[in-house]
Amino acid sequence: MTLSRALAIVVLTASFAAPAYAQDRVVPTSPQQLKLSFAPIVQRTQPAVVNVYAGKAAPRNPLLDDPIFRRFFGGAPGQLQPEQMQRSLGSGVMVDPSGLVVTNNHVIDGADQVKVSLADKREFEAEIVLKDSRTDLAVLRIKDTKEKFATLDFANSDDLLVGDVVLAIGNPFGVGQTVTHGIISALARTQVGITDYQFFIQTDAAINPGNSGGALVDLTGKLAGINTAIFSRSGGSQGIGFAIPANMVRVVVASAKSGGKAVQRPYLGARLQAVTPEIAESLGLKRPSGALVANVSPGSPSARAGLKLSDLIVGIDGQAVDDPNAFDYRFATRPLGGSSQIEVQRSGKTVKLSIPLEVAPDTGRDELVIKSRSPFQGAKVANISPALADELRIDSNIEGIVVVELEDNAPAQGVGFQKGDIILSVNNQKIAKTSDLDRIAKEPSRLWRITVVRGGQQLSVTFGG
């Protein structure tokens, strides 16, 4: 990925007189004036940025077990075939001196082996402590070491401004640790489509494949964000890279430090929608801005706080809310316990509400994998809990069960089921809990009539048995 920069200066003068700005230019009078450099920041931060190598055993070709096949294609009789590994390469940042590393989830997802390489070329085995697909972040821990490692402190990413100079440190294309520089091109990018929480820092610092999970550092030497994606038509850097803000990274790391296997976040218990120009006009707004409340779950924190259908959320804890993505990010980065103050517009008046910051209830999932021969075979399903509904962005008030995982190449995947599908009924029988589907899937049938909800839309499909 190549980031090209060109500075073109066109001097137009109407006379032979020297331009006024030329009088501000001076010749350097000492070598020190020529040594303006980012080197002190790089020297301080580079030791905390690591390379992450992830390996996953590739599916074994069953023909390799055939002695005749091995004989004709290079394998000696009785010789064991070496295990094939699929490898991925990324970067990471040391965030705790005990050996805690944060990286992107997509760098290590599905990995059987993970190694971390330091800037001084030493390599360590690492274990996965926590994975969070919703933010595309993961936390690793270096194994079997009592060494104290160099770390980066978190910046307050809410203090960043467009135009601030930043450095990107990582391992692009596997060439080795590399530093690039640029500026923050934009903040609060919400239409990127990478993770559930759409609130990215955009930078023109060169970010390439292999930079994923690396550090975006401000000029105080603190971690401003974790580099996670690029926009590119060629696969190389075109000056549009995205980083997860440090305030979100801090939440994920805190959950890992506390020993949790999942990230603990505040639960709102309300579904929000964007304000379109048509909605803005109907509400008498000057511009389409804010997050409109489309649904409030009974008994949820938002319901107890007094949030109502059609309320327009315009602020949280003194920060403006431009759209639902902005609210989701702000709310998700609030610490648990206490409360958060939100500002809503209701019937032309401003109302302030106090939302308690607490986790969503997560009981009674009763997850199971359907094993019976049916269109559901290989699907892992669960009862809908508030926590699961929040995780999958589905309505917790729907009575049904939800698909949470699909086995590779299983019949359920083949017929088109997707993670997040809500199964309402099968062959005109209501599905209220996972045991209902397990029972019905065991019944012999030539025809399967299934009603599901996907993306808020109810669908009816029929499969031959």
Cβ–Cβ under 8 Å, residues 431 and 437: yes
Residue 425's φ and ψ, nearest 5 degrees, are: -155, 155
**Angle, alpha carbons 405-406-408 (nearest 5°):** 140
The tens digit of pLDDT for each residue in 163-203 reads 999 999 988 877 778 889 899 998 877 666 666 667 888 88
Between 1.50.10.10, 3.20.20.80, 2.60.120.200, 2.40.10.10, what CATH number should domain 44-142 receive?
2.40.10.10
Whole-number pLDDT of residue 172: 80
Please give the CATH topology (third level) of the domain spanning 368-464.
Pdz3 Domain (2.30.42)
Q: Which of 136, 204, 218, 311 is catalytic?
A: 136
Cβ–Cβ under 8 Å, residues 217 and 45: yes
Among the listed residues 385, 382, 364, the one whose alpha carbon sits nearest the alpha carbon of residue 299: 385
- Positions in the chain whose pLDDT score sits under 70: 1-25, 33-34, 57-86, 88, 190-197, 230-239, 465
Tokens of residue 306, six digits: 């007094």
d(CA 277, CA 458) in angstroms, rounded, equals: 27
Q: Which of 91, 157, 185, 212 is catalytic?
A: 212
181 given a catalytic annotation: no
435 given a catalytic annotation: no
Pairing relation of β-strands 241-245 and 200-203?
Answer: antiparallel
Q: How many CA atoms lie within 13 A of 285 on its CB side?
A: 21
> Which residues neighbour 232 within 8 Å (Cβ) at sequence distance 6 or greater?
1, 238, 240
Whole-number pLDDT of residue 25: 66
d(CA 267, CA 312) in angstroms, rounded, equals: 18
Tokens of residue 420, six digits: 């997040």
Domain with CATH 2.30.42.10 in the chain: 270-356, 368-464
401 pairs with which residues across the strands?
383, 423
Tell me the whole-structure pTM to 2 decimals: 0.76
Whole-number pLDDT of residue 152: 94
Q: How many CA atoms lie within 13 A of 225 on its CB side?
A: 30
Whole-number pLDDT of residue 1: 37
Secondary structure (3-state) at 48: helix
Q: Which of 88, 91, 106, 255 is catalytic?
A: 106
d(CA 155, CA 44) in angstroms, rounded, equals: 15
Amino acid identity of 119?
A
Secondary structure (3-state) at 107: helix
The tens digit of pLDDT for each residue in 201-225 reads 888 888 877 888 889 999 999 999 9
136 given a catalytic annotation: yes
d(CA 37, CA 80) in angstroms, rounded, equals: 55
Tokens of residue 102, six digits: 């944060």
Whole-number pLDDT of residue 205: 84
Per-residue burial over 102-140, b if 16 or more Cβ lie within 10 Å, else e, is bbbbbbbeebeebbbbbbeeeebebebbbbbebbbbbbb
Cβ–Cβ under 8 Å, residues 423 and 415: no
d(CA 56, CA 112) in angstroms, rounded, equals: 5
Amino acid identity of 353?
L
Whole-number pLDDT of residue 175: 77
Residue with tokens 């706080």: 305
Whole-number pLDDT of residue 353: 96
Pairing relation of β-strands 165-170 and 215-217?
Answer: antiparallel
- Let me know if domain 270-356 sits in CATH 1.10.260.40: no
Domain with CATH 2.40.10.10 in the chain: 44-142
